[in-house]
Amino acid sequence: MKTFFKLGLGAMLLSLSIQSCIVSKRKYDDMLAQKVKAEGELAEKSDQLNKANADISALNDKLTHLKEDTTSLGEQKRATARKIADLTKEYDQLSAYYKNLLNSSGKLNRDMQEQKEQLLAIQANLDRTRHQNDSLSTSLLEREQKVRELETVLANKDKAVMDLKNRISNALLNFKENDLTVNVKNGKVYVSLPEQLLFQSGSIDVDQKGVLALQQLAKAIKDQKDIHIMVEGHTDNVPIGKKSQYMQDNWDLSVMRATAITKILTKAGVTPNQITAAGKGEFQPILPNSSDGNKQKNRRTELIITPNLDELFKILEAN
């Protein structure tokens, strides 16, 4: 009887062990699929960001050219105005001379006819010049209007970015220690969150203080639907201490940290399709990894908040 019981218990333990292996493999496959999907989305968002940056650069070039054209047209208009004044003066002189010829003797008839033809030619040239000046004035007004439209949209975009930066800074006012920074660069808001605010060393679980900071940040931006948020995890170059089946290196660590922060932001109200999680690992340090202090600054998470540029693109396409 005891032998039979032992055999049954052994079979049961073997069955449980096999089931545990199957569950682990499924979990691994799921995590691998998520990682592949995240990498694909990252590549797609990176392409979109590069295109947006290229479009902004083209827009600025267009604005510069329009300003140059406006200056050139203004100079042409002033030159034409001077030419009109000179032609008008010449016309008045010839007109007076022509009237004098009418009162002269018949021997001046030939000269008078020549002067009349010359006067008519000058009149025609004056009319053409006036028409050209009217066309230049219309073109100048149109270009000035386009420049004003572009400048207004760019100014509104810059103001919106600064308002967003100030709103985020105020939301994180109680978390300003530990190298937390909020800056504007290239028309985007960069929020840099140090590791010591969010994570324990080597961990992907956000500390309670970090959760509070992220919830405050989400509260400040969740109602703004015309932005995109890139969450980037960064590490130093020190290899991770404990490897696992799902975390082999700093790249894995940075991706998982970015994903953990993304989930907290979306849970706090940020729309999921506005946010992308990405891991940069050790490959984009802000300082050389030559000291403990520099390494600490490199261990960070950056939120890059980009405004919607559709209105700018519409004006660029219209022009």
Give 191's strand partners: 182, 303
pLDDT by residue for the chain (319 residues), tens only, comes to 555 555 565 666 656 555 555 558 888 888 888 888 888 888 888 888 788 778 778 878 887 887 888 888 888 888 988 988 988 988 888 888 877 776 776 766 777 778 888 888 888 888 888 878 877 777 777 778 777 877 877 788 888 889 999 999 998 888 866 678 999 999 999 999 999 999 998 899 999 999 999 999 999 999 998 899 999 999 999 999 888 888 999 999 999 999 999 999 999 999 999 999 999 999 999 999 999 999 999 999 999 999 876 655 555 555 5
Strand positions, DSSP E, the chain: 181-185, 188-194, 227-234, 275-281, 300-307
Top-level class of domain 172-318: alpha beta
pLDDT tens digits for range 260-305: 999 999 999 999 999 999 999 999 999 999 999 999 999 999 999 9
- Domain boundaries in the chain? 62-156, 172-318
Phi, then psi, of 227 in degrees rounded to 5: -130, 160
Q: How many CB atoms lie within 10 A of CB 117?
A: 10
DSSP E strands in 110-200: the ranges are: 181-185, 188-194
- Which residues, in sequence order, are bridge partners of residue 229? 275, 305
- The two three-digit tokens of residue 52, written as one number: 């947006």
281 bridge partner residues: 234
Q: What is the pTM of this model?
A: 0.56
Q: How far apart are CA 186 and CA 134, in angstroms?
A: 40
- Whether the CA torsion 308, 310, 316, 319 is positive or negative: it is negative
271: nearest Cα among 227, 301, 214: 227
For residue 305, what are the β-bridge partners? 189, 229
